[in-house]
């Protein structure tokens, strides 16, 4: 190989080495950006847990429960055997959620289960509809409890008692339920509130 040919091949090899170095540099840049995105995603955003608690007395048997979060069905179960009614707590949602305003919609169907002078309730079906809006804050976890309960007092007719209320609690951090609990963040937990657009419809008929 003469000197001129050797010089040409050497320049070609150096050019290819420079191109490889540039490709490696770009790859390192993309990897760094991807790493930053993943790490920032692990600490940013918000988290929400939604749980249903059934505090109804034995006068009402839960036969259907439907929960919708931001238009997406999270839980939908119908049961006439009584197994659903026996569940005092039902986990609805536990995961990451975009910071901002969100809405949960609830539909509960109940069968009257009266006894004694209230035995007429066995012929009634109750449907409770409710919705509640809450705000997820970046870097924090909001725990929303949806509670089925009986409103009023001893003078309130049983058929007017089925209702839904909500309780919110905000904590710092977005760790999953299995992680160590985070310290409470200001403000203090929100007091239980009755959700907007709550309504009850009653239908007579056999079981």
Do 179 and 159 belong together in one domain?
A: yes
Q: For residue 97, what are the contacts with CB-CB under 8 A and spacing of at least 6?
A: 45, 46, 47, 48, 136
Do 31 and 121 belong together in one domain?
A: no
DSSP string, the chain: --HHHHHHHHHHHHHHHHHHHHHHHHHHHHHHHHHHHHHHHHHSSEEEEEEEEE---TTEEEEEEEEEETTEEEEEEE-SSSHHHH-SEEEEEEEEE-SEEEEEEEEEEEEE---GGGGGGGGEEEEEEEEEEEEEPTTEEEEEEEEEEE-S-TTS-GGG-EEEEEEEEEEES---TTSPPPPB-SSPPEEEEEPEEEEEEEEE---
Do 4 and 66 belong together in one domain?
A: no
pTM of the model: 0.65
Do 80 and 147 belong together in one domain?
A: yes
Q: For residue 32, what are the contacts with CB-CB under 8 A and spacing of at least 6?
A: none
Do 125 and 193 belong together in one domain?
A: yes
The segment with the largest mean pLDDT, out of 4-8, 31-35, 155-159, is 155-159
Do 90 and 4 belong together in one domain?
A: no
pLDDT digits (tens, 9 = 90+) for 8-43: 787 788 888 878 887 787 677 667 656 655 555 544
Do 69 and 24 belong together in one domain?
A: no
pLDDT digits (tens, 9 = 90+) for 41-77: 544 589 999 999 999 888 888 999 999 999 999 999 9
**Mean of pLDDT over the chain:** 78
pLDDT of 191 strictly over 60:
no
| Higher per-residue pLDDT: 58 or 185 | 58
Quote the tokens at residue 36.
Answer: 């930053």
Do 28 and 67 belong together in one domain?
A: no
Do 14 and 61 belong together in one domain?
A: no
CB atoms within 10 A of CB 101: 10
What's the pLDDT score for residue 30?
63
Per the structure, the count of domains in the chain is 2
Q: Is 108 in contact with 147 (CB distance < 8 Å)? A: no
What's the pLDDT score for residue 179?
42
Do 177 and 160 belong together in one domain?
A: yes
Do 87 and 126 belong together in one domain?
A: yes
Do 72 and 120 belong together in one domain?
A: yes
Which residue range is the domain that position 72 belongs to?
A: 46-204
């Amino acid at each position: 190989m003469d000197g001129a040919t050797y010089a040409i091949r050497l320049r070609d090899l150096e050019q290819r080495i420079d191109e490889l170095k540039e490709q490696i540099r770009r790859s390192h840049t993309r990897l760094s950006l991807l790493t930053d995105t993943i790490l920032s995603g692990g600490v940013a955003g918000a988290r929400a847990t939604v749980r249903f608690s059934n505090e109804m007395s034995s006068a009402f048997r839960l036969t259907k429960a439907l929960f919708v979060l931001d238009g997406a069905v999270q839980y939908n179960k119908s049961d006439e055997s009584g197994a659903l009614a026996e569940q005092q707590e039902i986990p609805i949602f536990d995961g990451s959620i975009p910071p901002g305003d969100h809405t949960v919609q609830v539909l509960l169907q109940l069968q009257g289960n009266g006894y004694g002078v209230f035995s007429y309730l066995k012929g009634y079906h109750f449907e409770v509809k409710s919705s509640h809006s809450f705000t997820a804050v970046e870097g924090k976890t909001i725990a929303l409890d949806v509670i089925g309960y009986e409103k009023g007092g001893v003078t309130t007719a049983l058929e007017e008692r089925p209702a839904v209320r909500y309780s919110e609690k905000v904590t710092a951090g977005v760790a999953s339920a299995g992680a160590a609990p985070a310290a409470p963040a200001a403000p203090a937990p929100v007091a239980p509130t009755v959700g907007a657009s709550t309504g009850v419809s009653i239908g007579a008929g056999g079981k």
